[in-house]
Structure 1
């Protein structure tokens, strides 16, 4: 049998159900590896002692009908976990311990999973390198001094380094897909509304979505089955029949139409990315798929639109952090000074930048020119995809236009990170 921590989720669940491994053995193996891998800085808060206790409790009375029977899992520190510190990678929530559980994590525990701990991430999920976290940057296990991507950098690094069998991240504008690409793992942003946002620390509410991060596609499908559910506590949750994704996996793509958007061939794309894209196209063609060139004409407007809509929503969502009811508070001579000092000391530079951008585009006289126009362009971008999917089954593109870059390489130029 291969080393416990290198096994896939499918292998681990099979071994538990066949009683070849116990939950306690698996849990201790991942904890032991995590203890030896602290230099990666993936954990913000560990839950190791309680995890061992829960694994023993599971082994004493195992329910092998569950989808994640006794499987230990670490999760991104953006999901509220009842009784376990949830920081969102920020000083302002450094001491926040929720009294409730997010729906997505509750789905995990309901299927038998055990919380290993909370994983590092960019502050309030704002970043592409995991360098904006109050708790320091995460190291990419793939290469020394490389960023793991962001904002779910701790999650991608933890899966790549075999510190958790699978994990969950959140994706607003690439925060699952880009770090998965940087670490050679599998990341999926599900359709908006398929996974509940209840109990996830909000960044941009019309874009935020939880999703699985795993070692392979099969594990990804297994985890999505668990975390995707209708939830009345989330007004944007969609009530539809969820599929058994893991049972519908197939290598047969013969006759499928795969679209290749011409606008995604951007200037200065590294040759290695271009070559990998070509390899993927050749692979799909060899498997019997029909390759079709398509156009997504409003692609050039996607990034500027995102950086109006997302900061605007962030500005609104982050207004709640004032030091009054919970989180960090800096004392002041009066209420206004306390507000100002709490927010200026509690938020990091990148979060402040986005709050200021968002407040500006929502301000009187600029709302129509920026935010309203961005929402209209957003609809045009969506229509591009709707039109494309009327002729193709899937679109094949690189996840990100570069591979993992060096830690500190882009910190002085925040715009290049966008």
Structure 2
């Protein structure tokens, strides 16, 4: 078996035994990346850094003091600031920006001995569900069933494609409204969004600060548990970071969920949902029931307001977060003609630097925060958000341990297929995922089957706040029962 195809767990065990070195693992991934240009997943490659880190990891492994992630080659989403390496958030406005500091998440990974293969493409500023808004051009899903090129999902599409194609052993992603879970479902991998505050946001380029949360994108639930444990930490540099001990998530994977209550929300049974997704959901319910869980019907009555509330709150926060990109201190600055002043520089810089989707969201956000509309839109959306959070709290208060829903309303669609559609059609991709961000809960997408065309489909489990271990255990049971082992056939 090629080394790049290993899971984190298998690689960790092989490294500890001395059957393989981190340098060998890293070289296998680097050569795979070189041959995968057609996927357009890696956009800033860092082979020198990777080999240097791998050598250091091998020395650490030899000395016998090595954490689980030591020597594991990873891809890093372009939203994480990495010292001295382009960190562009897939936007022209940050062209040439190389931070002088390391994000807390990547620092935690490097401290544990992980290896950086390079930066992965994404939707510009994490705004998008198809990875078509990147300044690097679209990422291509490694799954192919006809002549079309398919989307890997977004915004963490580069991460999803790279993991699914075995270009790296795992990758970091971020999730503001489904940006880890939807691409994971589209590419047949596992993606977990932890509880808001579990992972530091410091050094991660902000989209919507009250929703953004980083998490791992991996080949298995066990890998997600291992990597999440390294990414999490309390961080005084992030005021929303929770000072809660990080448990051993891998130890929580007992595979026993007897007597656990799984809620099935009736509001997620959407009109016009494909029969295949309906069937997958039913199969998932049956699998958890067979494992000894108790299935209960629940109601989350404010679900129907989640998308509109999200598409008010997220752009509002984005418009204020993106105000700092003005051409003054870093990134792109527009060339000015004679007699043009500072306002012209701001306007030109932002018009040249931001792509159409980012411009659209900044405009929406500025509009909903403006004096005449603040109460009508932003304040109302905040109140709806509180009601959505309360829906979940009430369900958990009834003893429900986890909630099972579809991850996406469809399998991966073709690149460009949604381009001419109304932007709202694209936003509907997030219909099952945004509630989890609005409520700050942990959610995980687990690949559970293929549709009739042969494309992967995922199911989502939503957990109680701070109980990622329990959530991962439910996901582990679902993963084992579904037995999903399909991989894309190599065409790139």
- Answer yes or no: same fold by TM over 0.5: yes
Greater relative contact order (CA < 8 Å, ≥ 6 in sequence): 2
Change (3 A) 1:250 1:57: closer
For the pair 1:372 / 2:379, whether they are aligned, the reply is yes
What SS does the corresponding residue of 2:405 show, helix, strand or coil? Answer: coil
- Map of 1:264 onto structure 2: 268
Q: After TM superposition, give the deviation of residue 53 of structure 1 in Å.
A: 2.8
Structure 1: how far apart are the matches of 2:150 and 2:123? 15
- Map of 1:91 onto structure 2: 92
Q: After TM superposition, give the deviation of residue 40 of structure 1 in Å.
A: 0.1
- Map of 2:348 onto structure 1: 341
For the pair 1:416 / 2:435, whether they are aligned, the reply is no
- Map of 1:33 onto structure 2: 32
- Map of 2:471 onto structure 1: none
Change (3 A) 1:180 1:61: closer
Choose the corresponding residue for 1:359, options 363, 366, 369: 366
Q: After TM superposition, give the deviation of residue 60 of structure 1 in Å.
A: 4.2
Choose the corresponding residue for 1:285, options 286, 289, 311: 289
TM-superposition CA deviations, 1:236-284 (whole Å, max 9, x none): 0000111100011121111111100000000111111111001000111
For the pair 1:230 / 2:234, whether they are aligned, the reply is yes
Q: After TM superposition, give the deviation of residue 70 of structure 1 in Å.
A: 1.6
Structure 2: how far apart are the matches of 1:16 and 1:69? 9
Structure 2: how far apart are the matches of 1:348 and 1:193? 29
For the pair 1:120 / 2:124, whether they are aligned, the reply is no
Structure 1: how far apart are the matches of 2:262 and 2:56? 48
Structure 1: how far apart are the matches of 2:56 and 2:262? 48
Q: Which moved more, 1:203-212 or 1:331-340?
A: 331-340
- Map of 2:443 onto structure 1: none
Contact 2:82/2:101 (8 A) holds in 1: yes
- Map of 2:314 onto structure 1: 310
Choose the corresponding residue for 1:406, options 409, 414, 431: 414
TM-superposition CA deviations, 1:176-206 (whole Å, max 9, x none): 0000000000000000000000000000000
For the pair 1:394 / 2:398, whether they are aligned, the reply is no
Q: Which moved more, 1:67-76 or 1:361-370?
A: 67-76
Which sections of structure 2, spanning at least 5 residues, go unmatched? Answer: 428-492
For the pair 1:252 / 2:256, whether they are aligned, the reply is yes
Structure 1 moving runs of 4+ over 3 Å: 60-64
For the pair 1:350 / 2:357, whether they are aligned, the reply is yes
Structure 2: how far apart are the matches of 1:61 and 1:177? 33
TM-superposition CA deviations, 1:64-94 (whole Å, max 9, x none): 4222122211110000000000010100012
What SS does the corresponding residue of 2:174 show, helix, strand or coil? Answer: strand
Structure 2: how far apart are the matches of 1:74 and 1:281? 33
What SS does the corresponding residue of 1:188 show, helix, strand or coil? Answer: strand
Q: Which moved more, 1:324-333 or 1:309-318?
A: 324-333
Q: After TM superposition, give the deviation of residue 379 of structure 1 in Å.
A: 0.3
Contact 2:53/2:113 (8 A) holds in 1: no
Q: Which moved more, 1:172-181 or 1:67-76?
A: 67-76
Change (3 A) 1:52 1:195: same
Structure 1: how far apart are the matches of 2:212 and 2:349? 26
Structure 2: how far apart are the matches of 1:183 and 1:283? 22
- Map of 1:103 onto structure 2: 104
- Map of 2:140 onto structure 1: 139
Count, aligned residues: 417
Structure 1: how far apart are the matches of 2:309 and 2:43? 32
Contact 2:57/2:114 (8 A) holds in 1: no
What SS does the corresponding residue of 1:369 show, helix, strand or coil? Answer: helix
Matches within 5 A, 1:16-31: 16-31=15-30
Q: After TM superposition, give the deviation of residue 61 of structure 1 in Å.
A: 5.0
Structure 1: how far apart are the matches of 2:58 and 2:183? 34
What SS does the corresponding residue of 1:397 show, helix, strand or coil? Answer: strand
TM-superposition CA deviations, 1:380-413 (whole Å, max 9, x none): 0000000111121110000111110011010122
Structure 2: how far apart are the matches of 1:25 and 1:161? 18
Q: Which moved more, 1:246-255 or 1:153-162?
A: 246-255
Structure 2: how far apart are the matches of 1:175 and 1:129? 10
What SS does the corresponding residue of 2:247 show, helix, strand or coil? Answer: coil
Structure 2: how far apart are the matches of 1:290 and 1:70? 41
Which sections of structure 1, spanning at least 5 residues, go unmatched? Answer: none
Matches within 5 A, 1:48-63: 48-60=47-59, 62=61, 63=63
Structure 2: how far apart are the matches of 1:45 and 1:344? 24
Structure 2: how far apart are the matches of 1:336 and 1:315? 17
Structure 2: how far apart are the matches of 1:250 and 1:176? 25
RMSD: 0.9
Structure 2: how far apart are the matches of 1:60 and 1:275? 50
